[in-house]
Homo-oligomer: A and B are copies of this chain.
């Protein structure tokens, strides 16, 4: 239906094996785990180093050589001229139909820039957006945009709602996901100018079950399956949510060392408490998709370990198999068609009105 990249599950996931703090070891270990679980992976990076790492593990994986790597303190815009950088080479594999998706744990801005530059946007999509899985009391909530677009127009957030709904259906397995608009009051008129304008749009967006406004506290309460916001607010929320979990568990650990009684209690409660800490760990889901680009691109934490890499490969494979990009292109087209029809109806009504007045 569109000129979307081949989404065949026969193609490997192109893994940037150099970008990130623990690379290439975490990439190699994570890829081997994913392959053992039935996934296809091609490592992208310095061939010599990757062959050495594989030899040391007595293992073998396909390698695509890339002689350069974008470091964490480089500029995202560097991807334009550094065509041999691992993230650029990995993204090009997707463009050329040689890989199903690109996954990078390196420089987030560079991964995003490479995806936009090499793959471009899906037809009809105005701005790609990052979706983040936020752990809630009883599952996950999809937060979109988690950081791709710092300043947004209302129509972009309307498309984020469509993309978030497609994602929640495919990945979070919610057949009819609810969508909340992040604001500072539940009533329709509450919020900043952007939220108030988006509220009006979301009330009449086909394919989006709009719940209405939600507030900061609703994110982890799991009030809605999807939460839509601009990339500034979303990124602040994502980092606050992750940071707070870390701080509270630090405080809990400290409290459980504060007395002999607490120490004993902590020892007994440890397995139960560890389960919560794991549920709130970003490594659980591995990487965040950049939705709306014409191909599949995933952005992971710079500190990702082998487990996060393995999970990122699983996440990427699942989104490819679910043909998420085809559904996004369809959803965005349906919204445009409905707005075109509404515009025509309004136009014909006002034409009639003009006739009547004449």
Main secondary structure on A side of the interface with B: helix
The stretch of A87-95, A167-175, A266-274, A333-341 in contact with B is: A266-274
Please determine whether B252 and A252 come into contact, CB atoms closer than 8 angstroms. Answer: yes
A239 is contacted by which of B217, B239, B256, B261 (Cβ under 8 Å)? B217
- Complex-state Cα separation, A275 to B252, whole angstroms: 10
* Given A150-B191, A244-B241, CB of A269 within 8 Å of CB of B275: no
Please determine whether A243 and B216 come into contact, CB atoms closer than 8 angstroms. Answer: yes
Is A220 positioned at the interface, with any CB of B under 8 Å from its CB?
Answer: yes
Count class of interface residues, chain A: 35 or more
Quick one: CB contact mask for A204-246 with B, threshold 8 Å, 1 for yes? 0000000000011111110000000111110111111111111
Q: How far is the CB of A116 from chain B (nearest CB, A)?
A: 17
- Complex-state Cα separation, A162 to B184, whole angstroms: 24
A150 is contacted by which of B184, B232, B236, B250 (Cβ under 8 Å)? B184
Quick one: CB contact mask for A249-272 with B, threshold 8 Å, 1 for yes? 011100110110110111111111
Please determine whether B193 and A151 come into contact, CB atoms closer than 8 angstroms. Answer: yes
Is A300 positioned at the interface, with any CB of B under 8 Å from its CB?
Answer: no
Please determine whether A268 and B276 come into contact, CB atoms closer than 8 angstroms. Answer: no
Chain B neighbourhood of A238, CB < 8 A = 216
Chain B neighbourhood of A244, CB < 8 A = 219-220, 240-241, 244-245, 248
Please determine whether A251 and B276 come into contact, CB atoms closer than 8 angstroms. Answer: yes
* Given A150-B192, A184-B236, CB of A248 within 8 Å of CB of B251: no
A sample of 29 inter-chain contacts (CB < 8 A) reads A137-B247, A147-B184, A150-B191, A150-B193, A150-B195, A151-B192, A184-B231, A215-B235, A216-B237, A216-B238, A216-B241, A216-B242, A217-B240, A219-B240, A220-B240, A229-B236, A233-B233, A236-B236, A237-B237, A240-B241, A244-B244, A255-B269, A258-B272, A261-B271, A262-B268, A264-B265, A265-B266, A265-B269, A265-B270
| 5 cross-chain pairs, A with B, having the tightest CB-CB distances, nearest first | A217-B243, A265-B268, A216-B239, A265-B269, A216-B240
